[in-house]
Structure 1
Amino acid sequence: MSFALPLCRLSAGLSHRIAVAERSILVGKFACRLYSSMETKRIKVANPVVDIDGDEMTRIIWEKIKNTCEYFDLGLPNRDHTDDMVTVEAANAIKKCGVGIKCATITPDEQRVEEFKLKKMWLSPNGTIRNILGGTVFREPIICKNIPRLVPGWTKPIIIGRHAHGDQLFKIFCHLGPVSTTGISLSMLLMMTEFTKTRIGSEVASALIGLLYGCETWPIRAAELRRLQVFDNRCLRTVTRYKATDIVVKEPGTIELVFTPKDTAKPPERHTVFQFPDGGVSMAMYNTDEYKATDIVVKEPGTIELVFTPKDTAKPPERHTVFQFPDGGVSMAMYNTDESIRGFAYSCFEYALSKRWPLYMSTKNTILKRYDGRFKDIFEEIYVKDYKTAFEAANIWYEHRLIDDMVAQALKSSGGFVWACKNYDGDVQSDIVAQGYGSLGLMTSVLMCPDGKTIEAEAAHGTVTRHYREHQKGKPTSTNPIASIFAWTRGLAHRGKLDNNQELINRFLKKVLFVDNQSISFVALRFCDDLEKACIETVESGKMTKDLAICIHGLKDVKPEHFLTTMDFLEAIASRLREKRGTA
């Protein structure tokens, strides 16, 4: 093979092998190896995937699941060493290989910058990769019969399709000034701001992070209640009071967020939001500074404008006043392109059709008539033109709903549908849905690109910092590896589909003709499907990690005999897989 390495694996830099399964998956001269004590026939993989390493406890689990592939170290030290260019290289490698498998990574805040002595507060690698690849992140719960659900009525999965481009999640520009009139002005493209993370996320995290993997402070339902209370209160104060100026972009040009000081002797400050190659939408918002942020301050009163400058220099700029600040405050500008929205729509329709499940799209187009209205219009146009006939033939449907109505309907439903969300909505709802089904440790995450051929699979949870601290002390942990294993199975299954590798892909239909000329179709199970079933059956047999044991027994009543350590649980899965594959 001409390429140096086989699977595009985005990870944190270690290369151990462990007994997880009985097969070795050979790729070129390297192997992603899932071992047993018995050597059996190896499954040949013709082409590579990208392996992306990460941080902390998930990095430890990661090295136990895989072996060397086309490897990119996205651990914080290496990202800092390469000025984060390794993240860009990893994304481009996924484009080339078609499949990336990523370990959980750290998005640094001020504390992490100090801990790792970083050059700067690097952006989220997930955001960078998604911005390069585009597409939709599909998150699907892994259902185990014996794991209680916080929403008992959810008997079938709810798959969140999160648009992985644009909206209010990218980078910040700030307008600095004296403490006397505190406030901030933000322009954000594709990644959550430090403002949001430190002022909102810290309170949420205090209730949520420990909950996922056995917090010793919060009873599970009290922690969940506190998390929802914090989230609801922040949303009530922040989201429901926003004022938005949204516009439709109909030609190439540049969107800027411009702050003009009231003092006319001072020049305007201009911050480029996006250079549109074609049509799209943009929006600017503001609010008063209720968080008293001292790290980002507004210098003085002035006016925020959303300015579109056409590429055709013969045309004058379009200026839209967002707000005239009498004092401190915040402002935000965001964008999306028609091309990206169309790719989002196509991937959601295709995914829903493959699942034979209805598709819902949620926006707030009653308020954001142009911005969210563009999403609604494009989805409807594509559905009527390309998918309505196929959906009706499959006895499924597409429907647009307001986001608040959709949340209520989802809670009342039994599941069994795909929910298309804008970037921020999907970020929020995917975590809520994961907790509703039991745990973020039981959630798959696959980024599907508009070409239908390129994917990136990863665990939906974070790096499990608290467990990593225990691991550093040499103490055993009970960390749930299922989402990381499913990242590999989903990535390898897609590699198999691209290569028509029937030994590797999840399943295929086969018809058998009997002597009476009657035929029957059945599903022939293969490696990836066997491994996923081995994980679920291991949990359902009563062998699990502490986070799942807490779901069953409660935090106060869980005992050491109710759960296994991380490595013992991995061995239990390996044993179950050997039984299923007939190599015990």
Structure 2
Amino acid sequence: MAKIQMKNAIAELDGDEMTRVLWAVIKEKLLEPFVDLKTEYFDLGLKNRDDTDDKVTYDSAAAIKRLKVGVKCATITSNAARMKEYNLKQLTRSPNGIIREELDGTVFRTPIFVKNINCSVTSWKKPIVLGRHAYGDVYKNCEMKVDGPGKAELVFTSADGKEIRKTIQEMKGPGILQGIHNMDSSIESFARCCMSYALDQKIDCWFGAKDTISKVYDGNFKEIFQRIYETEFKDKFEKAGISYFYTLIDDVVARVMKSEGGLLWACKNYDGDVMSDMIASACGSLAMMTSILVSPNGEFEYEASHGTVQKHFYRYQAGEKTSTNPVALIFAWTGALAKRAELDGTPDLAEFAKKLEKSTLDVIEEGIMTGDLARLAEPAAKKIVNSWEFIDTVAARL
């Protein structure tokens, strides 16, 4: 069989631990037998990021900008334990944070529904799309630990040399400090991306922050969202029969739990990190969710929405074939290939991506699944398989 051709390459960003292992298996079993795969490869494994002082991460972001499409495996964000485990030179930044910052994009995460996996939240009948801001806040913070008493200040020196100074806290003893920021231009892009996506999907857009406590920081998010809505989207939303709604983040959480779904929930960066995992888990598994980073310039990065599955990797290293769910990794590839096909005008590549997704979901709906889904399946799973067996079953069906 002649392989399906690609006109242009996509940026391929490899990752860490169990997801790195399965990334290679997916390419070998599900992609390379059918597609003449064209990628520009970047190794974003933790050790290589440390060895290159994150140059490889910035290079991969530049490649996504140039090629317009990227696909990313899950990666480790280092902490003290990882620094010791991998013998790192330094604590490296979040690679996702760097890429999101470079692309100035918004992350959209959507649960993958299958008929025999019921949501833990019984009121949810339709997918909730989570739009996560992808710049700033704690992901581009400045932190320090202080050893004793002193004055902590927030200082801004303008371009003309004028200084604004505010006291954060008179420290009575040892403690910790953190500075975060965001940019109006990035918040504006975030608002436009979310409202454009809601309009395209014809679903309501909800946004929540905590402006009652963070009156300046979160208040600025609230004001910009409202201004963008009023000046650019209000008439379009009304014509489409959808609405924009702002309330406090804790109120949004309460409302979402009682909704039937079918809406776009816009979240600040950290809120989106947490709430997307909650939605994915409630819908079955963290591995049953798509994640797409969309930049205002029309660049797209498709990734797994979950982590590197550390515990499974240690079991794999000990010789066990784990039952790690590879669906999000598969859908990262299908999303990237479908977007490449759309941009290049290659319908056979788009059709392949669609068939691979259908084959994957059909296997689950036939009752063959990994252990995370088997606990939730109704009717009960016919067969619980390890990751390699699942991928082989999808390949056979494909």
Q: Taking structure 2 as the reference length, what is the TM-score of the superposition?
A: 0.93
1:259-300 Cα deviation digits (max 9, x unpaired): xxxxxxxxxxxxxxxxxxxxxxxxxxxxxxxxxxxxxxx232
Which amino acid in the other structure matches residue 61 of structure 2?
A: A
The 5-angstrom pairing of residues 270-419 of structure 1 reads: 298-313=146-161, 316-419=162-265
> Residue 551 of structure 1: SS of its match in structure 2?
coil
1:155-189 Cα deviation digits (max 9, x unpaired): 11111111000112224431xxxxxxxxx3xxxxx
The answer as to whether partners of 1:345 and 1:382 remain within 8 angstroms in 2 is yes
> Residue 168 of structure 1: SS of its match in structure 2?
helix
Q: CA deviation at 1:56?
A: 1.3
Q: Which residue of 2 aligns with 1:82?
A: 52
> Residue 118 of structure 1: SS of its match in structure 2?
coil
> Residue 181 of structure 2: SS of its match in structure 1?
strand
C-alpha distance in 2, partners of 1:159/1:107?
Answer: 25
Q: Which residue of 1 aligns with 2:371?
A: 546
Please, which of 561, 564, 567 is the counterpart of residue 385 of structure 2?
Answer: 564
> Residue 140 of structure 1: SS of its match in structure 2?
strand
Please, which of 469, 473, 476 is the counterpart of residue 321 of structure 2?
Answer: 476
More helix by share: 2
Which amino acid in the other structure matches residue 546 of structure 1?
A: G
C-alpha distance in 1, partners of 2:171/2:324?
Answer: 49
Which amino acid in the other structure matches residue 575 of structure 1?
A: A
C-alpha distance in 1, partners of 2:157/2:150?
Answer: 21
List structure 1 segments (4+ residues) > 6 angstroms apart after TM superposition: none
C-alpha distance in 2, partners of 1:465/1:333?
Answer: 30
1:454 equivalenced with 2:299 (yes/no): yes
The 5-angstrom pairing of residues 40-439 of structure 1 reads: 40=2, 42-66=3-27, 69-174=39-144, 184=145, 298-313=146-161, 316-439=162-285
Aligned residues: 389
Q: Which runs of 5+ in 1 are unaligned?
A: 1-38, 175-183, 185-297, 506-525, 578-584
Q: Identity over aligned residues, as a percent?
A: 48
Q: Which runs of 5+ in 2 are unaligned?
A: 33-37
Larger relative CO (CA 8 A, sep 6+): 1 or 2? Answer: 2
- Which piece of structure 1 moves more, 405-414 or 131-140? 131-140
C-alpha distance in 1, partners of 2:164/2:321?
Answer: 61
Q: Which residue of 1 aligns with 2:357?
A: 532
Q: CA deviation at 1:381?
A: 1.4
> Quick one: structure 1 residues 353 and 43, their matched pair in 2 at CA, closer, same or farther if it must change by over 3 Å?
farther
The 5-angstrom pairing of residues 28-43 of structure 1 reads: 39-40=1-2, 42-43=3-4
C-alpha distance in 2, partners of 1:363/1:475?
Answer: 44
> Residue 173 of structure 1: SS of its match in structure 2?
strand
C-alpha distance in 1, partners of 2:20/2:72?
Answer: 10
1:491 equivalenced with 2:336 (yes/no): yes
C-alpha distance in 1, partners of 2:175/2:321?
Answer: 48
> Residue 51 of structure 1: SS of its match in structure 2?
strand
The answer as to whether partners of 2:143 and 2:176 remain within 8 angstroms in 1 is no
Q: CA deviation at 1:530?
A: 2.1
Q: CA deviation at 1:150?
A: 1.5
C-alpha distance in 2, partners of 1:335/1:81?
Answer: 28
C-alpha distance in 2, partners of 1:171/1:357?
Answer: 33
The answer as to whether partners of 1:50 and 1:90 remain within 8 angstroms in 2 is yes
Q: CA deviation at 1:553?
A: 8.1
Q: Which residue of 1 aligns with 2:35?
A: none
The answer as to whether partners of 1:546 and 1:562 remain within 8 angstroms in 2 is no
In terms of Rg, which structure is larger?
1
Which amino acid in the other structure matches residue 284 of structure 2?
A: G
Q: CA deviation at 1:123?
A: 1.6
- Which piece of structure 1 moves more, 389-398 or 432-441? 389-398
C-alpha distance in 2, partners of 1:65/1:346?
Answer: 35
